[in-house]
Structure 1
Amino acid sequence: MELDEINYSNNMRNLQSKCQKYLYCNVSLIMSDGSIFDGIIENADQDRIVMLVGEDAMDLDDNDNDNEYNYDEKRQYGNVGFHRRPRRRFRRFRRRFFPFANIAALELLSRHRHSY
């Protein structure tokens, strides 16, 4: 049991040092439940990582009405139709907090991906 505590604290120190090394870099977090988050490490303290995680978002048209027909039409056709311009897609970043205890691995995302 004491050996497990030593391994846990060594892994925790490894993660903390990796976070300091990769501060403001684009990384991939692999969680203990298998989920994966890509983002930019903003800060790391003793207990957690603070990371900016990107998510896709759509720009809503100001002329859209909120009635049910318009909602179904936008959902069906993606807000593209006669006299309508397509909605713009953009990326929004939100600050998320990840406890070290839930992180299985931390990897630096390379800028260039090679396929062999």
Structure 2
Amino acid sequence: MDVTEMVARTRETMTAGRVFGEPVVRDGVTVIPVARVSGGGGAGGGESPAAEDGTAGSGSGGGFGLGVAPAGVFVLRDDGVTWRPAVDVNRIVAGGQLVMVVALLTLRSYLRSRSDRR
């Protein structure tokens, strides 16, 4: 796959259809799921000097990555549109762990300084 083909496939992949899901309608309420999409790609190439046996060196490469995570939903009703964000429990747990580590380190430092005074 050459670089131009990879760029074309990347453009096909990064569409609004990846961000906004199919609307779901029930009891007069429409829900549109929304995702956070991120991606990146890279390519390279090169040639090395001819080897001693007469063969020429060459090289190429490329890659692409795509990440999708739920962001929330738009809820459409007769009285308007509301946004309901998705709750990322893993982020909440990681944030709680970070706060706990800082609290424990602060407590340890406080107790050490207090014991040094005696």
Give your verdict on TM over 0.5. no
The TM tier, using the shorter chain, reads under 0.3
Larger radius of gyration: 2
TM-score normalised per structure 2: 0.22
TM-score normalised per structure 1: 0.23
Q: State the structure with bigger RCO (CA 8 A, min sep 6), 1 or 2.
A: 1
Higher helix share: 2
